[in-house]
Amino acid sequence: MRRLRQGDEPEIATTSPAAAPPTRDDLRAFLRAAPKPEGLRNYGPTPTAADVEPARQWHAYLAAHGYTCLHWPREFGGIDAPVTFQAMFAEECAYADVPRQFSIFGPDLVGPVLIKYGSDEHKATYLEPIRTGAHIWCQLFSEPEAGSDLASLRTRANPTATGWRIDGQKVWSSGAADADLGILLARTDSDKHHGLSMFVVPMSTPGITVRPLRQIDGESKFNEVFLDAVELPADALVGRPGQGWELALAMLGRERLTLGTHAVAMFRRHHALVAAAHERGVLDAVLGRSMTRLWARMWLLRYTWQRAVERGDLTSPEFSVLKLVTSETDRDLSDLATDVLGVEACTDPEDDEFVRHMLVGRAQTILGGTSEIQRNILAERVLGLPKEPH
């Protein structure tokens, strides 16, 4: 067996679509040769305002070559790609340091729900602009008092003579300031779960106010969204009234596919931290042990993710384990920046990548389901322990 060394690139199996599938080498060559728009960077799942234009150009280039919405059915512009091929493409984009698509919301969350539950008009109107990157979407789910307990949301959708009137507030809405459309979860009945419905909302509709939230690292990817007497037509409803919770659950899980790209980023950052510690002369035995433990944990995560992806079941409890441990490993790796930088860790995050990762590392244990929620899921649904008292 080949020994693993610091700086090695992990690999996964290269299962791909049946019709003349590109190999990993093909994908790597394509991404290396692709023209990169000025200002393009690997910004993660959500672009900032400065990222929007280069990201739109990049997504359009990928779409023109058949590399967007890989998991969609062929009739809607996808290639029915298996989970392993989707993961391989995401990973190669991480190696190339480019985003794999404009954002996660349109291609990964909204598109599949519209394909399964949307009307023919929804599909004809929204799917192709998602595939090409012409439309940016955001998710209007979380609220000030309904984050982890999403089913407790209070935003109301009341029927009118011509459709629906929406009143309420959303928060932590990634990319809402630049979005053309939003997918909204609102209450249409008093039942906690069966009283929720889902709507398509043009973000330019009168009554919508978006306020960006400035993050600790200086970026503003999240937003507050206020909806005051927002009028929507009847066909804005996706599925049936009261079906919103079912649709929201159908959206979950797509982020699990890209946990391997987090591993790629962590390996790179670990390598850079080790190099910086050498340069500064601070890589003593204590710091070395911490670096080694994290390096071993990252490889274990990497291979666990590979096994989960190869099984192709995105609902597997393995992904909850991976989400939990990946988030906390990323946080711990980011915290090592204080040991490497010393007092320089107090500098402006715009001036130092290590400082920026140190600050946002904490968010990894909150985004996409908090570590506490992930532990509850594993305790109750996998281990069969009693539910946590509320």
For the domain that residue 193 is a member of, what is the CATH number?
A: 2.40.110.10
Establish if 195 belongs to a structural domain: yes
Establish if 301 belongs to a structural domain: yes
Sign of CA pseudo-dihedral 320, 324, 327, 329? negative
Provide the residue range defining the domain that includes 336.
Answer: 254-382
Establish if 281 belongs to a structural domain: yes
Other Cβ atoms less than 10 A from the Cβ of 109: the count is 23
Q: How far is CA 169 from the centre of its chain?
A: 22
Whether residues 225 and 275 share a domain: the answer is: no
Q: Cα separation of 316 and 310, whole Å?
A: 12
Whether residues 147 and 87 share a domain: the answer is: no
Establish if 123 belongs to a structural domain: no
Q: Cα separation of 345 and 337, whole Å?
A: 7
Residue 254 has a pLDDT of 63
Number of domains the chain is built from: 3
Domain final position from 243, 273, 308: 243
Whether residues 269 and 317 share a domain: the answer is: yes
Residue 257 has a pLDDT of 63
Residue in the block written with tokens 């594993």: 378
- State both tokens at 211: 């306020």
Question: How many H-runs (helices) and E-runs (strands) does the chain carry?
Answer: 11, 8
Sequential DSSP letters for 45-90? SS--GGGHHHHHHHHHHHHHTT-SSTTS-GGGT-----HHHHHHHH
List, by residue number, the catalytic residues.
255
Q: Cα separation of 37 and 77, whole Å?
A: 24
Whether residues 62 and 143 share a domain: the answer is: no
Establish if 119 belongs to a structural domain: no
Whether residues 295 and 188 share a domain: the answer is: no
Whether residues 261 and 310 share a domain: the answer is: yes
CATH no. for residue 373? 1.20.140.10
Other Cβ atoms less than 10 A from the Cβ of 388: the count is 10
Least Cα distance to 130 among 142, 154, 112, 118 occurs for: 112
Whether residues 231 and 264 share a domain: the answer is: no
Low-confidence ranges of the chain (pLDDT < 70): 1-20, 253-260, 349-351, 390
Q: How far is residue 349 from each of residues 131, 195, 217, 344, 382, measured CA to CA in Å?
A: 34, 43, 6, 10, 40
Least Cα distance to 51 among 110, 103, 104, 127 occurs for: 103
Q: Cα separation of 58 and 14, whole Å?
A: 24
Whether residues 375 and 278 share a domain: the answer is: yes
- What pTM, to 2 d.p., does this model score? 0.83
Residue 255 has a pLDDT of 62
